[in-house]
Amino acid sequence: MAKKRVTLADVARLAGVSQTAASFVLSGRREDMRISADVEARVLHAVRVLDYRPNAVSRSLRTGTTHTIGLVSDTISTAPFAGHLIWGALDAAREHGYLLFIAESEGDPELEQELVQAMVDRQVDGIVLASMYTRALLPPKSLGERPSILLNAVPARPKPIVSVVPDEIEGGRTAARALLEAGHREGIGLIGVGPGRTRTDSLAAIERFQGIEEVFTAEGIDIAAAVGCDDWQPHHGWEATHRLLREVRELSALICFNDRLALGAYQALADAGLRVPDDVSVVSFDDDIYATWVRPPLTTVALPHYELGRTAVELLLKEIRGERRPAPGRYRIRMPLRERGSIRPRFHPA
Amino acid sequence: MAKKRVTLADVARLAGVSQTAASFVLSGRREDMRISADVEARVLHAVRVLDYRPNAVSRSLRTGTTHTIGLVSDTISTAPFAGHLIWGALDAAREHGYLLFIAESEGDPELEQELVQAMVDRQVDGIVLASMYTRALLPPKSLGERPSILLNAVPARPKPIVSVVPDEIEGGRTAARALLEAGHREGIGLIGVGPGRTRTDSLAAIERFQGIEEVFTAEGIDIAAAVGCDDWQPHHGWEATHRLLREVRELSALICFNDRLALGAYQALADAGLRVPDDVSVVSFDDDIYATWVRPPLTTVALPHYELGRTAVELLLKEIRGERRPAPGRYRIRMPLRERGSIRPRFHPA
DNA sequence: TTGTATGCGTTATCAT
DNA sequence: ATGATAACGCATACAA
């Protein structure tokens, strides 16, 4: 348990060489330094015998680099898909030999600042500031002290920083096109965004709507009705759908602004004796895990969480290494359509 | 951007005192060392002026402690509730001024060993080895080099190590009692564990069953039928329930071994024209997020993820600090019953 | 009460 | 080709 630490000096001693020689062998630079093959072998042998592992802390103090990245997020617990964001970041980091400090600010700016500071104190090479739902935020000032990047967020005030976000506008277009290609041109309803209640801090709401509207307008299609929601939980979807049903005589298709709303919508449609997709087609956003569990399985425009996390870390690493530093601005990640069973083709008489 | 690092020496210089004095002031030990109030004030002032922050790497090299804990888990991405495990761990760590390295082994023992090693190299003060579903595992050998703890897992071979696990046996009892107290004594079915197919690597399966059986046996109640499942996803629950319905004439209550199975069971019961809870009561395990979304909301025995994570870190910190080192063995965390709407009281004629 | 000197484990410079 | 030696930033035993 209290095993004595073995240091480079121990290795050198056992190998009968200078510590310098041992160091060079281990950093693989024996070519430059013209270390004899014999010495190299003795060092390598000693390393194996002693089971030597370099002390990264000491190395960091000397080199000024920790091979460590800090990731602080507002929430990682309540979002079921949050794991995939982290996963992508973790994978990318590991592939480059980096480890991740992870922390959660719970949306508290003060705590966020504190956590970023704790990471900076530990000399992380860079920082990822992440949000679980896409939004604008004010980066804490400590961010400036290290290379850093915004993940699933954009700076509230213009700043020369890299942001990685889902391409929500194109995602909106994708949802609209999915309906269009199935022949839906009338009786299209929206729930999640509409007159009155709209979550204005959510970029997703704004940009998804923008994409949807753009496609429909270009085709001369009118949205039959749209109902906003205070929040995007299943019961909001249920209420909104019931309201929608009162406004629209012949609902043919329904765009839900996320899968949770869609879950409530499924229920409300069933209440009204409407079948999905035979009577009403449904398309949604996010690709939450339960999208495959409901019946029929939900066709949805996926939030590319894994890719977001991975891309953020890769861009950050580029900046850290100084090779081809990425230009500040938004990097938009494509939102793929997951075609499942909730859209039914609808043919019109010629 | 390339701001020059400010060191303790800078602070001492500006304050016009020795580095030692500055150091003592900052470690708050000026009482012991009888540093003058004047010196203290000058140091504190210099710290503020220079915006000095101690270099944790350097401090670690000197003190041998990093205030850092490593958490490596087999999966954190595919389990929707995984976040809560992490959350509890994160909270406990932060409260004590520790930061967490987090990594994911994807169930690959080689990678797991590698990640643990990477953390040990960085001189973490302790390691949490976590699993997302409760199981037995072989701790990688590098674990022995640091204080460490198993989270949601137990050692496959007896080892003097602390394990934090849900109290699945008591959880099983809780589920059984919930049914009992609602008056269910006949027509009780089980899905998830049964003759033939059972996931034997899952402690949850074994212990939940053990608890259930214990309670029913004590009451002289026979389980009407049990159907095992290869895995515990919704469609397995759907199939199992259909099979069960063929075996049992009058199904009165159904115990599902997790919420996903229950989801499938809901569907299958609906297919058979059975209503929950009017015709069949359902009780389940885990308390996944969607347990509140289904109709009726699911009564379920919760997996205490937050508490698990928090407890693991707290015990580990006790060990690290050497104060009252926790005894090796299993620490069982209570699984609370979340009473919702899927159990209906059933009254028997006296 | 305050200052000087040393060591933590590496890396890297400079003579040899 | 190899071996002293300094330096990274901090904490602390010891001297003053």
Residue B42 lies in a domain: yes
- Name every chain B residue with its beta carbon within 8 A of the beta carbon of A115: 94
Nearest protein residue by Cα to C1' of nucleotide D12: B20
Predicted local distance difference test score (pLDDT) of residue A20: 86
pLDDT tens profile A320-343: 998 778 899 999 999 999 999 999
Which amino acid does the sequence have at B7?
A: T
Question: Length of chain B, please?
Answer: 350
Task: Please tell me whether residue A291 adopts helix, strand or coil conformation.
Answer: helix
Residue A140 lies in a domain: yes
Contact A342, A292 (CB under 8 A): no
Taking CA–CA distances from B292, the nearest residue in chain A reads A234
- List helix spans (H) across chain A: 8-15, 19-26, 30-33, 37-50, 56-63, 82-95, 109-121, 168-181, 203-218, 234-247, 259-271, 305-321
Nearest protein residue by Cα to C1' of nucleotide D7: A62
Residue A292 has pLDDT above 50, yes or no: yes
Q: Quick check: B100 and A99 CB within 8 A? A: no
**Nearest CA to CA, how far is A226 from chain B (Å)?**
23
Q: Quick check: A82 and B83 CB within 8 A? A: yes
Residue B197 has pLDDT above 60, yes or no: no
The answer to whether residues A129 and A185 belong to one domain is no
The answer to whether residues B172 and B272 belong to one domain is yes
The answer to whether residues B182 and B241 belong to one domain is yes
Q: Quick check: B289 and A104 CB within 8 A? A: no
- In this prediction, residue A87 has a pLDDT band, given cuts at 50, 70 and 90, of very high
Nearest protein residue by Cα to C1' of nucleotide C9: A58
Taking CA–CA distances from A67, the nearest residue in chain B reads B122
A195 or B132, which is more confident?
B132
Of the candidates A80, A115, A121, which has its C-beta nearest B80's C-beta? A80
Q: How far is CA B307 from CA B77, B126, B331, B332, in A?
A: 19, 19, 11, 10
**Nearest CA to CA, how far is B66 from chain A (Å)?**
9
> Which of B247, B269, B246 has its CA nearest to residue B256?
B269
Q: Whole-angstrom Cα distance, residue B68 to residue B248?
A: 55
Contact B199, B207 (CB under 8 A): no
pLDDT tens profile B43-66: 999 999 999 999 999 999 999 999
Q: What is the mean pLDDT of residues B314-321?
A: 95
Predicted local distance difference test score (pLDDT) of residue B1: 41
Q: Whole-angstrom Cα distance, residue A213 to residue A172?
A: 8
Predicted local distance difference test score (pLDDT) of residue A169: 97
Q: Quick check: B104 and A115 CB within 8 A? A: no
The answer to whether residues A172 and A299 belong to one domain is yes
pLDDT tens profile A244-284: 999 998 999 999 999 999 999 999 999 999 999 999 999 99
Straight-line distance from CA A20 to C1' C15, in Å? 14
Residue B339 lies in a domain: no
Task: Please tell me whether residue A191 adopts helix, strand or coil conformation.
Answer: strand
> Which of A78, A5, A33 has its CA nearest to residue B86?
A78
Q: Whole-angstrom Cα distance, residue A324 to residue B62?
A: 36
Contact A268, A261 (CB under 8 A): no
Straight-line distance from CA A65 to C1' C10, in Å? 12
The CATH number of whichever domain residue B188 belongs to comes to 3.40.50.2300
The answer to whether residues B244 and B138 belong to one domain is no
- Name every chain A residue with its beta carbon within 8 A of the beta carbon of B1: 144
Mutation to test the B interface, candidates A114, A120, A290, A319, most B Cβ within 10 Å:
A290
The answer to whether residues A242 and A131 belong to one domain is no
Residue B267 lies in a domain: yes
The answer to whether residues A111 and A139 belong to one domain is yes
pLDDT tens profile A1-32: 445 678 998 898 888 888 888 888 888 776 66
The answer to whether residues A144 and A258 belong to one domain is no
- In this prediction, residue A197 has a pLDDT band, given cuts at 50, 70 and 90, of low
Q: Whole-angstrom Cα distance, residue A123 to residue B59?
A: 12
Listed as ranges, the nucleotides of chain D within 7 A of a protein C-beta are 1-5, 7-13
Straight-line distance from CA A97 to C1' C7, in Å? 30
Rg (CA), chain B: 27
Residue A346 lies in a domain: no
Of the candidates A55, A87, A101, which has its C-beta nearest B77's C-beta? A87
Q: Quick check: A117 and B53 CB within 8 A? A: yes
Of the candidates A77, A144, A290, which has its C-beta nearest B83's C-beta? A77
What letter does residue A202 receive in the DSSP assignment? Answer: B
Listed as ranges, the nucleotides of chain C within 7 A of a protein C-beta are 1-5, 7-14
The CATH number of whichever domain residue B20 belongs to comes to 1.10.260.40
- Name every chain A residue with its beta carbon within 8 A of the beta carbon of B122: 56-57, 66, 68, 99
Percent of chain A scoring above 90 in pLDDT: 73
Residue B344 lies in a domain: no
- In this prediction, residue A121 has a pLDDT band, given cuts at 50, 70 and 90, of very high
Rg (CA), chain A: 27
Confidence (pTM): 0.92
Q: Quick check: A99 and B99 CB within 8 A? A: no
The answer to whether residues A178 and A294 belong to one domain is yes
Average pLDDT, chain A: 91
pLDDT tens profile B172-192: 999 999 999 999 999 999 999
**Nearest CA to CA, how far is A213 from chain B (Å)?**
30
**Nearest CA to CA, how far is A347 from chain B (Å)?**
30
Tokens of A330: 């938004």
The answer to whether residues A208 and A327 belong to one domain is no
Cβ B19 to strand D below 7 Å? yes
Query: How does A258-278 read in b/e, with b if 16+ C-beta sit within 10 Å?
Result: bbbbbbbbbbbbeeeebebbe
- Residues at the strand C interface (CB under 7 A)? A 5, 7-9, 19-20, 23, 26-27, 52-55, 58-59, 61-63; B 17-21, 33-36, 38-39, 61-62
**Nearest CA to CA, how far is A320 from chain B (Å)?**
12
Residue A104 lies in a domain: yes
Residue B82 has pLDDT above 50, yes or no: yes
Q: Whole-angstrom Cα distance, residue B281 to residue B164?
A: 32
SS3 letters for B7-65?
A: CHHHHHHHHCCCHHHHHHHHCCCHHHHCCCHHHHHHHHHHHHHHCCCCCHHHHHHHHCC
pLDDT tens profile B261-317: 999 999 999 999 999 999 999 999 999 988 998 989 999 999 999 999 999 999 999
Predicted local distance difference test score (pLDDT) of residue B270: 94
Of the candidates A56, A94, A260, which has its C-beta nearest B121's C-beta? A56
Number of domains making up chain B: 3
Predicted local distance difference test score (pLDDT) of residue B306: 95
Straight-line distance from CA B321 to C1' D9, in Å? 25
Residue B178 lies in a domain: yes
Predicted local distance difference test score (pLDDT) of residue A34: 67
- Residue B118: enclosing H or E segment and its boundaries? helix B109-121
Residue A346 has pLDDT above 90, yes or no: no
Taking CA–CA distances from A3, the nearest residue in chain B reads B145
Please, what is the end-to-end C-alpha distance for chain A in angstroms? 81
Predicted local distance difference test score (pLDDT) of residue A323: 74
- Name every chain A residue with its beta carbon within 8 A of the beta carbon of B117: 53
- Residue B162: enclosing H or E segment and its boundaries? strand B162-166
Of the candidates B55, B61, B87, which has its C-beta nearest A76's C-beta? B87
Q: Quick check: A122 and B56 CB within 8 A? A: yes
Average pLDDT, chain B: 91
Straight-line distance from CA B30 to C1' D16, in Å? 19
The answer to whether residues A139 and A237 belong to one domain is no
Nearest protein residue by Cα to C1' of nucleotide C13: A20
pLDDT tens profile A168-183: 999 999 999 999 999 9
- Domain around A141: 68-166+305-333
- Name every chain B residue with its beta carbon within 8 A of the beta carbon of A119: 99
The highest-confidence range among A79-88, B19-28, B31-40, B224-233, by mean pLDDT, is: B224-233
The answer to whether residues A172 and A272 belong to one domain is yes
Straight-line distance from CA A4 to C1' C8, in Å? 14
Predicted local distance difference test score (pLDDT) of residue A2: 43
Of the candidates A101, A117, A267, which has its C-beta nearest B295's C-beta? A267
Cβ B55 to strand D below 7 Å? yes
pLDDT tens profile B207-245: 999 999 999 999 999 999 999 999 999 999 999 999 999
